[in-house]
A and B are shown apart, each in its own frame.
Chain A
Amino acid sequence: MVSKESCRSELRTAIHQLNDRCLHSASRWAAEQLVGIEQDPAKFTPSHTRFQRGSSSIRRRFGPSDLPSTPVGGALYVATPVHEEDDSADSDFYLLAKAYFDCKEYRRAAHVLRDQTGKNAFFLRCYALYLAGEKRKEEESIELEGPLGKCDAVNRELTSLENELSKQLKNETIDPFGLYLYGIVLKERGREDLARTVLVESVNSYPWNWSAWSELQSLCSTIDILNGLGLKNHWMKDFFLGSAYQELRMHNESLSKYEYLQGIFRFSNHIQAQIAKAQYSLREFEEVEVIFEELLRNDPYRVEDMDMYSNVLYAKEVFPALSYLAHRVFMTDKYRPESCCIIGNYYSLKGQHEKSVMYFRRALKLNKNYLSAWTLMGHEYVEMKNTPAAVDAYRRAVDINSCDYRAWYGLGQAYEMMCMPYYALYYFRKSVYLQPNDSRLWIAMAQCYETEQLHMLEDAIKCYKRAANCNDREAIALPRLAKLHSELGRLEEAAYYYKKDLERMEAEEREGPNILEALMFLATYCRSQKKFEEAEVYCTRLLDYKGPEKEKAKSLLRGMRTSQSGLTSTETEHFPP
């Protein structure tokens, strides 16, 4: 394991370098991790470290003057020294350009740097141009299209940037930051293979740029690609793998990575949030709730990832906490996509679906590629019985990420509502392929097979069996299985499933109409099998309930007694019914 001290000094240097290049979100990420490193308990009291978590003013005294220029070499896996400061960073033009950049005047910044030759200046100019293009693209897409319509606006700077950057690459004068930018450009041009190699090269030579890692992660759609990347070892790689595993739905692997990282970054909010995400995917809602409660206590104005917390609260229907969260993010920053999503959830739980849709729409206006907002909006439209709009929303979601099983499931549901079971089946199959351990999906599919139009009961049985095998919390699969079998005349199987269902209900102490059905069936079945004792047990249990079943059970009992009376007439006389 790397030492905490070396991580700390590496990050400190990296933050300054990232800041110099205006890579703001990467530097924010690095700073968060820096503060997340556990302090040496020998030097600081626990209360101090606890206090450390909330405040942002930590360690200001490390100005640039006492920066360690290289990290402690022995602890590093990669022998990359932290880069020395580029000389052009000091040039006056660069300072001006950076100021423009920080004020979001990208073209002006690029213009100032037009004749500068330093590596930093080159990078900043390209980056500014890229962002200028992005900004224009956003504006165009708003001008051209409504929120639901797709838009073919492109970043017009991409071609020239690609030419310039590839020239630099050929001359071998490109630095890791340039490579990162090149990677983004290539990714947007659709040349994913090349983008991957370029990004790998970037992170191998400068691993502290989290933005590069996340771009790379978005390009790893299968485990084979991930394994074939050829990354050098560095602790940043563990962060990357954690998030990549999560995207590839290898949640347990990802969890173990993060738990390992917590050894160093004990107080990192990022890691906590990621663990929560993994637990959320594993549907461990209790855990997620606990993690988020703590996260909010330490970082009360956090908006990031809080949409997931709101999903959990929504699923658990904890209305007070959801309302509190919604009001809180509303006061913190109303116009963040996450905030809008949380408020959307809040209105949805209140049953005000129109308002909820309005907020999801707002979230999407703020970030068109906000996956979960598309899916949730689809759910809202389903609630409002507006299937065409729902289908549209779900389609946008799967366009953004074809691995979102919720969207596929939603599509299936929508088509089922429109009585198009074949379409529905297709989409359910997609979602089941992505999330094979979710009983709800299997049940949905089975119900689809059961519909009048299809009536493919055998297939339905297969699906229910799968559902029953993967922890069917709502306990729908077993009774359906039993019922289907009994309808198909396979009484033995039906009895088997009814028995199993009964056992489960006893174990979970549930009551319901199912129990009557199961008991009734088992009683008649056992009698027909001449297992009178067992049948009697079921009948006596039925006597505890009201309704026609009770009468039926009585008559069954009477019937059995009379048929048995030949054998044990003396006993029945002593105990008249």
Chain B
Amino acid sequence: MMRQEAMVEKLRGAVRDCMSKHLYSSAIFFADKVAAFTSDPADIYMQAQALFLGRHYRRAFHLLNASHIVLRDLRFRYLAAKCLEELKEWDQCLLMLGEAKVDEHGNVLDSKDCNAIYMDKDGEDCEINILSAICFLRGKAYEALENRSQAHQWYKAAVKADPLCYEALECLIDNHMLTYEEEKNLLSSLRFAPEDGWLSSFYSCFIKKYDKENVVEAKFRELEMGHRELNTSRSSMTCTLKNNTDLLACKAEYYHQSGEYQKCFDLTSELLERDPFHLKCTLVHLAAAMELGHSNELYLMACNLVKDYPQKALSWFAIGCYYYCIKKYDQSRRFFSKATSLDGTFLHAWIGHGNAFAAQEEGDQAMSSFRTAARLFPGCHLPTLYIGMEYMRTHSFKLAEQFFMQAKTICPSDPLVYNELGVVAYHMKEYKRAVWWFEKTLTFVPSSLSEMWEPTLVNLAHALRKLSCWFPGSIKRLYHIMRKLLLCQPEV
């Protein structure tokens, strides 16, 4: 009896080792034998796990379903749902995960699973809460079923259940599901373990970065400095994320957003030399190269990307960028729409598509793609903003203003929105309001005034000029602005 026990234990070890060495067929073979010897639920779970890893989803699902424990143990249920996910049977998957409700802040309302038993852990030191994984899977299923609001609520629930569930946060942020406010609220509601302080600051760099320059910089600095409190206990280990590619990619994103394209380009070029296949970094690099007009760089990047990742939307997006950069808008539209057809959730391609239309003054088509983008990405204010701009071009100022206000509610800290609002007000001859908007723009400009914001200054100056007929007091402010303008471009 003892010997048999030892033999089974040894076989279990063999299964685990086979799985870690990716010898799935052997793992399945031995797991099957162990399960036959013991018929212990834990061994059945192991067998199902091996089957799942060996891509026998249907078989794994059947095995789990046949064992009676499936509805009682969360792990079983989760694995069964994972199988259904791979089989793309989304409704079944949701059924398997069980009924649950979630409110719009991602708090799970009535969870009947509380009394469900949860068997022994997988034996990892740090385990992600299984509820979080379940919430995430629900979110994915809802997203696949095109139920976006449910999806993003479940993603939120996943992050809330366990802040270590990075995937959920990534989905939320990359697909622009949340507005800036919502992102911030979500982050502040997360309960991090005391030793995960760094993660909290990392996430805060990861979300949209419309804060003032010093706030954002402080966030980065905090991460770059490393964590002293950790170091004191184990002084030999200096842990800093200063050179971490993910973090630097966030930084590059920030540079790009604040218009420092050259700085951004230099940073991403360096990062791509280190990790040539970092996708987020590639995206920022493309954007920066386009702003700087490095069409040659774009060309080479696009060729390489298409060669390496013909299935990724990003590659075709890169080609679109290249054509946009050399002003061949027809071609560029073709590739942008190819990118969107490969991945409908690729925001940048939608916006590129719209902009390529807008560049040729085809407002209606441009607006239709912006509208799609606005529908798909409720957390991103850019599509709304662009729709407003299109309306403005056709002199529909009222409509334009409406859309700008909508953009403002999504992202109240992007100076560009205020500038556009000011322009609309100017066109509607409400100069006082225009001045107010322009002044507000200047307060939101993140860094020191660069030439990117020169148009705003000019706009403001014009508004003040019109205003000075009635309010002589504004002359003084006008002079002030003019001096600033001269500082902005010393060579003029």
User: Could you list which residues of chain A lie within 8 angstroms of chain B, going by C-beta atoms?
Assistant: 297, 320-321, 323-324, 327-328, 331
Task: Give complex CA distance A331, B300 in Å.
Answer: 15
Looking across the interface, which residue of chain A has its beta carbon closest to that of B306?
A320
User: Of A297, A324, A331, which one neighbours B299 at CB under 8 angstroms?
Assistant: A324
List, in ascending order, chain B residues with CB within 8 A of A327's CB.
295-296, 299
The 10 lowest CB-CB distance pairs between A and B, nearest first, are: A320-B303, A327-B296, A324-B300, A324-B296, A320-B300, A328-B296, A324-B299, A323-B299, A320-B299, A320-B304
B296 with A331: CB separation less than 8 A: yes
Looking across the interface, which residue of chain A has its beta carbon closest to that of B297?
A324
Task: Give complex CA distance A574, B273 in Å.
Answer: 68
16 A–B contacts from the bound complex (CB under 8 Å): A297-B273, A320-B299, A320-B300, A320-B303, A320-B304, A321-B300, A323-B299, A323-B300, A324-B296, A324-B299, A324-B300, A327-B295, A327-B296, A327-B299, A328-B296, A331-B296
The minimal Cβ–Cβ distance linking B273 to chain A, given in whole angstroms, is 8
Task: Give complex CA distance A328, B294 in Å.
Answer: 10
Chain B 262-280 residues near chain A, CB threshold 8 A:
273
Task: Give complex CA distance A331, B296 in Å.
Answer: 10
Task: Give complex CA distance A320, B295 in Å.
Answer: 13
Task: Give complex CA distance A502, B295 in Å.
Answer: 48
Looking across the interface, which residue of chain A has its beta carbon closest to that of B295?
A327
List, in ascending order, chain A residues with CB within 8 A of B300's CB.
320-321, 323-324
The minimal Cβ–Cβ distance linking B304 to chain A, given in whole angstroms, is 7
List, in ascending order, chain B residues with CB within 8 A of A328's CB.
296
Task: Give complex CA distance A324, B289 in Å.
Answer: 14
Chain B 299-327 residues near chain A, CB threshold 8 A:
299-300, 303-304
The minimal Cβ–Cβ distance linking B121 to chain A, given in whole angstroms, is 44
Task: Give complex CA distance A469, B457 in Å.
Answer: 76
List, in ascending order, chain A residues with CB within 8 A of B303's CB.
320
List, in ascending order, chain B residues with CB within 8 A of A323's CB.
299-300
Task: Give complex CA distance A321, B295 in Å.
Answer: 14
List, in ascending order, chain A residues with CB within 8 A of B295's CB.
327
Looking across the interface, which residue of chain B has its beta carbon closest to that of A320?
B303
Task: Give complex CA distance A392, B391 in Å.
Answer: 65
Task: Give complex CA distance A324, B300 in Å.
Answer: 6
Mask for B325-343, Cβ within 8 A of A = 1, else 0?
Answer: 0000000000000000000
Besides A297-B273, A320-B303, A327-B296, 12 other A-B contacts (C-beta < 8 A): A320-B299, A320-B300, A320-B304, A323-B299, A323-B300, A324-B296, A324-B299, A324-B300, A327-B295, A327-B299, A328-B296, A331-B296
The minimal Cβ–Cβ distance linking A98 to chain B, given in whole angstroms, is 35
Interface of A is mostly: helix
List, in ascending order, chain A residues with CB within 8 A of B304's CB.
320
User: Could you list which residues of chain B lie within 8 angstroms of chain A, going by C-beta atoms?
Assistant: 273, 295-296, 299-300, 303-304
Looking across the interface, which residue of chain B has its beta carbon closest to that of A324?
B300
Looking across the interface, which residue of chain B has its beta carbon closest to that of A318?
B303
The minimal Cβ–Cβ distance linking A547 to chain B, given in whole angstroms, is 35
Looking across the interface, which residue of chain B has its beta carbon closest to that of A323?
B299
The minimal Cβ–Cβ distance linking B296 to chain A, given in whole angstroms, is 4
Task: Give complex CA distance A422, B409 in Å.
Answer: 85
List, in ascending order, chain A residues with CB within 8 A of B296's CB.
324, 327-328, 331
List, in ascending order, chain B residues with CB within 8 A of A320's CB.
299-300, 303-304
Task: Give complex CA distance A324, B303 in Å.
Answer: 10
Q: Which of B273, B295, B300, B304 has the most CB of A within 10 A?
A: B300
The minimal Cβ–Cβ distance linking A278 to chain B, given in whole angstroms, is 27
Looking across the interface, which residue of chain B has its beta carbon closest to that of A297?
B273
Task: Give complex CA distance A331, B299 in Å.
Answer: 15
The minimal Cβ–Cβ distance linking A330 to chain B, given in whole angstroms, is 9
Task: Give complex CA distance A328, B296 in Å.
Answer: 7
Task: Give complex CA distance A179, B351 in Å.
Answer: 69
Looking across the interface, which residue of chain A has its beta carbon closest to that of B296?
A327
The minimal Cβ–Cβ distance linking A572 to chain B, given in whole angstroms, is 43
Task: Give complex CA distance A181, B273 in Å.
Answer: 46
Task: Give complex CA distance A327, B304 in Å.
Answer: 16
List, in ascending order, chain A residues with CB within 8 A of B299's CB.
320, 323-324, 327
List, in ascending order, chain B residues with CB within 8 A of A321's CB.
300
Task: Give complex CA distance A327, B296 in Å.
Answer: 7
Task: Give complex CA distance A321, B296 in Å.
Answer: 10
List, in ascending order, chain B residues with CB within 8 A of A331's CB.
296
Q: Which of A320, A321, A323, A331 has the most CB of B within 10 A?
A: A320
The minimal Cβ–Cβ distance linking A310 to chain B, given in whole angstroms, is 15
Task: Give complex CA distance A176, B224 in Å.
Answer: 58
Task: Give complex CA distance A297, B295 in Å.
Answer: 18
Task: Give complex CA distance A324, B273 in Å.
Answer: 17
Looking across the interface, which residue of chain B has its beta carbon closest to that of A319?
B303
The minimal Cβ–Cβ distance linking B238 to chain A, given in whole angstroms, is 17
Looking across the interface, which residue of chain B has its beta carbon closest to that of A326?
B296
The minimal Cβ–Cβ distance linking B455 to chain A, given in whole angstroms, is 29
Task: Give complex CA distance A324, B296 in Å.
Answer: 6
Task: Give complex CA distance A327, B303 in Å.
Answer: 15
Q: Which of A297, A321, A323, A324 has the most CB of B within 10 A?
A: A324
The minimal Cβ–Cβ distance linking B331 to chain A, given in whole angstroms, is 16
List, in ascending order, chain B residues with CB within 8 A of A297's CB.
273
The minimal Cβ–Cβ distance linking A286 to chain B, given in whole angstroms, is 17
The minimal Cβ–Cβ distance linking B310 to chain A, given in whole angstroms, is 14
The minimal Cβ–Cβ distance linking B325 to chain A, given in whole angstroms, is 12
Task: Give complex CA distance A320, B304 in Å.
Answer: 8
List, in ascending order, chain A residues with CB within 8 A of B273's CB.
297
Task: Give complex CA distance A331, B295 in Å.
Answer: 12
The minimal Cβ–Cβ distance linking B127 to chain A, given in whole angstroms, is 39
Looking across the interface, which residue of chain A has its beta carbon closest to that of B307?
A320
The minimal Cβ–Cβ distance linking B57 to chain A, given in whole angstroms, is 35
Task: Give complex CA distance A297, B272 in Å.
Answer: 13
Task: Give complex CA distance A181, B142 in Å.
Answer: 83
Looking across the interface, which residue of chain A has its beta carbon closest to that of B300?
A324
Task: Give complex CA distance A328, B297 in Å.
Answer: 9
The minimal Cβ–Cβ distance linking B394 to chain A, given in whole angstroms, is 38
The minimal Cβ–Cβ distance linking A209 to chain B, given in whole angstroms, is 37
The minimal Cβ–Cβ distance linking A349 to chain B, given in whole angstroms, is 14
Task: Give complex CA distance A320, B300 in Å.
Answer: 6
The minimal Cβ–Cβ distance linking A476 to chain B, given in whole angstroms, is 30
The minimal Cβ–Cβ distance linking B283 to chain A, given in whole angstroms, is 20
Looking across the interface, which residue of chain A has its beta carbon closest to that of B303?
A320
The minimal Cβ–Cβ distance linking A436 to chain B, given in whole angstroms, is 38
Task: Give complex CA distance A528, B258 in Å.
Answer: 84
The minimal Cβ–Cβ distance linking A129 to chain B, given in whole angstroms, is 44
The minimal Cβ–Cβ distance linking A76 to chain B, given in whole angstroms, is 40
Looking across the interface, which residue of chain B has its beta carbon closest to that of A328?
B296
Task: Give complex CA distance A324, B304 in Å.
Answer: 12
Task: Give complex CA distance A323, B300 in Å.
Answer: 8
Task: Give complex CA distance A214, B295 in Å.
Answer: 39
The minimal Cβ–Cβ distance linking B163 to chain A, given in whole angstroms, is 35
Task: Give complex CA distance A566, B300 in Å.
Answer: 70
The minimal Cβ–Cβ distance linking A45 to chain B, given in whole angstroms, is 15
The minimal Cβ–Cβ distance linking A293 to chain B, given in whole angstroms, is 11
Task: Give complex CA distance A327, B273 in Å.
Answer: 21
The minimal Cβ–Cβ distance linking A333 to chain B, given in whole angstroms, is 15
The minimal Cβ–Cβ distance linking B175 to chain A, given in whole angstroms, is 31
Looking across the interface, which residue of chain A has its beta carbon closest to that of B302?
A320
Task: Give complex CA distance A135, B86 in Å.
Answer: 76
The minimal Cβ–Cβ distance linking A244 to chain B, given in whole angstroms, is 37
Task: Give complex CA distance A323, B424 in Å.
Answer: 45
The minimal Cβ–Cβ distance linking A46 to chain B, given in whole angstroms, is 15
The minimal Cβ–Cβ distance linking B454 to chain A, given in whole angstroms, is 27
The minimal Cβ–Cβ distance linking B326 to chain A, given in whole angstroms, is 11
Task: Give complex CA distance A464, B273 in Å.
Answer: 47
List, in ascending order, chain B residues with CB within 8 A of A324's CB.
296, 299-300
Task: Give complex CA distance A215, B450 in Å.
Answer: 54
Task: Give complex CA distance A327, B297 in Å.
Answer: 10
